[in-house]
A = this chain, B = another copy of it.
Amino acid sequence: MFDSGVVLGIDPGLSRCGYGAVRRGRGGQAEAVAYGVIRTSKDDPLELRLLALSRELEDLVDELRPTAVAVERVLFQVNVRTAMSVGQASGLAMVAAARRGIPLAHYSPNEVKQAVVGYGGADKLQVQTMVTALLRLDAMPEPPDAADALALALAHSWGGALRLRTEHAAGVGAPIGSTGGTGSAGSKLQAAVDAAIAKEGSR
């Protein structure tokens, strides 16, 4: 069975930086290891906010020891000021991972929504709903930044699994414990998406 280890997703931001770590267990089902947000106060000087964020991110990586870190790639922010601020936060996250030799992956918000909800135009509530269903959480992750980070980790965890399955299908041999070839993680996902949407619609 493919074991993704712990994948840590980071939704970078200076006021709220979301983080979410998932691990795929024996049955292939993903479980949440940790999630939340790191907050810094707008009342503090910028450099002290960045230092605090940097330290919390480094502590998080040391504590969770992820095998991969997935960071949201944001190319078209609403404005330049936000882009600067997201750039500062994402840079610190990337350095925290790179300093420890942990591989990094980048996903655009659309790629994450496509992987987790099934279409790239999903809204924040849909992402929260799907993440709650897929990880069988008792409550919806709040704030949305934490759910976004979990979604990033899920997307990378599946992507890694799919890549491995593809390699197996290409001649390395059928993956042990797998009933299908490439795409079975996608089918499971689609079933979960359908179930969550049905549940959401019946409220």
Task: List residues of A whose CB falls within 8 A of some B CB.
Answer: 45-48, 50-51, 54, 74-77, 79-81, 83-92, 94-95, 97-99, 104, 106
A50: min CB distance to chain B, Å: 5
> In terms of DSSP, what is the predominant structure of the interface of chain A?
helix
21 A-B pairs with C-beta separation under 8 A: A45-B104, A47-B104, A50-B91, A50-B95, A51-B94, A51-B95, A51-B99, A54-B95, A75-B80, A75-B84, A77-B80, A80-B80, A80-B83, A83-B83, A84-B86, A87-B87, A88-B88, A88-B90, A88-B91, A88-B94, A92-B95
CB distance from A140 to the nearest CB of B (A): 30
Q: Which 8 A-B pairs have the closest CB atoms?
A: A87-B87, A88-B91, A84-B87, A51-B98, A47-B98, A83-B83, A47-B94, A80-B83
